Amino acid sequence: MTHRSHMHAAWPGGTGPTHRVRASVFLPRVTVADGEWLARVLPALQRRARPEPEAVRVEDVSLRYRSGHLGIADALDATAAVLEPFAAAGASVDRRGEWYICDEEDEDEDESLFDADRPANLRGQPEQDLLVSMRVVVDADGEDGGAASLYWAVLSLAGDA
């Protein structure tokens, strides 16, 4: 996990309208199961809180898939399903045309496009046919409860990576 923040890890609720939280968390290997977990957890975590527009962004989406098990269309649809909970929770998500796509056979040539410290590859994970890498960027007011709940969910995923 790569996590950059200009503050302490705690979300500073009630600190005033001028205080901003800025953080960037890289998630190197998000699975379909992680997307299903987010779909269950985020609505309960957020309740009615929604982040301000553009307060939480999902960027630099990259996907790796096993071409022998998934076709490109299936891999794109599965990636969209992984990202859907972020969008449903109010995050801005890169459009499908902006995603980087790599099949299992391209792993050796394209490692640098995934986090160099912990590349998302399928070789060591035979149970996975798809891995999604992304960067989640938070730039939110300190009192934005919707952004805070997304941020905590992302930190939970990052801890599992």
CB 157 within 8 A of CB 38: yes
Beta-carbon count within 10 A of 124 CB = 7
Is residue 105 within 8 Å of 25, Cβ to Cβ?
no
Distance CA 4, CA 26 (A): 9
Q: Each residue of 31-53: pLDDT tens digit? A: 999 999 999 999 998 888 889 99
Structure tokens, 100: 């980087």
- CA-nearest of 151, 136, 123, 154 to 57 is 136
pLDDT value of residue 75:
93
Torsion-angle region of 90 (φ positive above 0: left; ψ -120 to 50: alpha; else: beta): left
**What's the pLDDT at 43?**
92
Q: What is the pLDDT of residues 96-151, one digit of tens each?
A: 999 998 876 655 544 554 544 444 555 556 578 899 999 999 999 988 999 999 99
Q: Which helix (H) or strand (E) holds 141?
A: strand 130-141
Query: Which letter, b or e, does each residue of 77-93 get, where b requires 16 or more Cβ atoms within 10 Å of its Cβ?
Result: ebbeebbebbeebbbbb
Instruction: Give the per-residue pLDDT at 8.
Output: 43
Give me the residues paired with residue 103 across strands.
65
* pLDDT for the residue numbered 94: 94
- Report pLDDT digits (tens) over 51-78: 999 999 999 999 988 887 888 999 999 9
Task: Quote the pLDDT of residue 129.
Answer: 85
Q: Is the pLDDT of residue 9 over 80?
A: no
pLDDT, tens digit, for every residue of 82-91?
999 999 999 9
Q: Distances from the Cα of 27 to the Cαs of 1, 12, 141, in angstroms?
A: 6, 23, 23
pLDDT value, residue 4: 54
pLDDT band at residue 19 under the 50/70/90 scheme = confident
